[in-house]
Amino acid sequence: MQATADKQLVGQHFSRAARSYDEHAILQLAVGRSLVQRLPAQLPVNHALDLGCATAPFARAQQQALPDVHWQAVDLSPAMLAEAAVRGRLNERYQPLCADAEQLPLAEASQGLVFSCFALQWCDPQAVLQDISRVLAPAGRVLLAVPLGGSLQELQQSWQAVNQRPHVNALPTFNDWQNAAFKAGFADPDLQQQVMVEYYDSVKSIARRLKATGADHVSGATGLTGKNAWQAMVAEYETKRTSQGLPLTWNVLFLEAEKS
Ligand SMILES: C[S@@+](CC[C@H](N)C(=O)[O-])C[C@H]1O[C@@H](n2cnc3c(N)ncnc32)[C@H](O)[C@@H]1O
């Protein structure tokens, strides 16, 4: 599993996608809204983080759910945080913080909640949950959704039929996250896995969607893809077409845990 090596590249890809993110991240935004529904009614400490917030699409709902809480919108990408400001989502109680989720520049036990949606898939589960645990106060909660290995499987299989170069990230598994949660000291974590399938009319629209949401960064990928290889991959992907269109599978983990 590639973990922390290319954080800068992850940030750069997302910076390029800052403008287009909200319009294309339909599935991410639906998952995030369901996470907001699970927010606790109160926190042990009135400070919370949205880790990998991008344009901070949940800021208003999070503030409505927890009006007394001071939020920090954390992201690797300054352009995403700038876009959050342009969209009027930052305010006195919802402040930006450009930082790496694995190395939060925050004091121990300073937070009552860590929220994160579709952002920690490039992190090492152990390192990121360890740092989340460090900044959480006793009885503080972590609430996250993250795609697991098996996501984008149709794209991966289609490329595999063409060449052995990496075209889809090898994401951490359910067990990686479960073990990391125990090691980070969360005694009774609740982990649930949900398979979600989107349908597209063409491989081109799938590629456009992944690019527009910054999800096209692949660790270890080198060079450009030739036209012949692309066409062979498209032909392979077309064999998976259903009456609803071309499937794109996301294998999503919901993790909720309390710090003892
Ligand atoms: C797919 S977007 C998700 C945005 C938002 N949470 C949502 O659900 O719509 C992922 C975001 O996570 C950020 N990100 C990725 N790795 C990160 C890290 N290690 N620390 C902080 N932010 C990170 C990216 O810059 C990007 O803005």
What local confidence, expressed as pLDDT, does residue 19 receive? 78
- Asked if residue 2 has pLDDT above 70, the reply is no
Domain with residues 7-149+170-194+252-258, CATH architecture: 3-Layer(aba) Sandwich (3.40)
- Can you tell me the distance from the alpha carbon of 259 to that of 113, in angstroms, rounded to the nearest whole number? 10
- Can you tell me the distance from the alpha carbon of 142 to that of 160, in angstroms, rounded to the nearest whole number? 36
Q: What is the mean pLDDT of residues 136-158?
A: 96
145 lines ligand 1 (CB under 6 A): no
Using the atom order of ligand 1, give the atom closest to the CA of residue 116: 6
Q: What is the mean pLDDT of residues 236-255?
A: 97
What local confidence, expressed as pLDDT, does residue 16 receive? 75
- Can you tell me the distance from the alpha carbon of 218 to that of 210, in angstroms, rounded to the nearest whole number? 11
- Can you tell me the distance from the alpha carbon of 3 to that of 121, in angstroms, rounded to the nearest whole number? 9
Using the atom order of ligand 1, give the atom closest to the CA of residue 17: 27
User: pLDDT tens digits, residue range 67-111?
Assistant: 999 999 999 999 999 999 999 999 999 999 999 999 999 999 999
**Half-sphere CA count of 121, side-chain side, radius 13 A:** 29
Compute, in angstroms, the gap from residue 145 CA to the centroid of ligand 1.
11
56 lines ligand 1 (CB under 6 A): no
Q: What is the mean pLDDT of residues 150-167?
A: 88
131 lines ligand 1 (CB under 6 A): no
Using the atom order of ligand 1, give the atom closest to the CA of residue 128: 19
Identify the three-state secondary structure at position 139. strand
Give domain limits for the chain.
Answer: 7-149+170-194+252-258
83 lines ligand 1 (CB under 6 A): no
User: pLDDT tens digits, residue range 6-42?
Assistant: 777 777 777 777 777 677 788 999 999 999 999 999 9
What local confidence, expressed as pLDDT, does residue 138 receive? 97
114 lines ligand 1 (CB under 6 A): no
The pTM for the full model equals 0.92
Q: What is the mean pLDDT of residues 247-251?
A: 96
- Asked if residue 140 has pLDDT above 80, the reply is yes
52 lines ligand 1 (CB under 6 A): yes
149 lines ligand 1 (CB under 6 A): no
User: pLDDT tens digits, residue range 185-232?
Assistant: 998 999 999 999 999 999 999 999 888 876 666 665 555 567 888 899
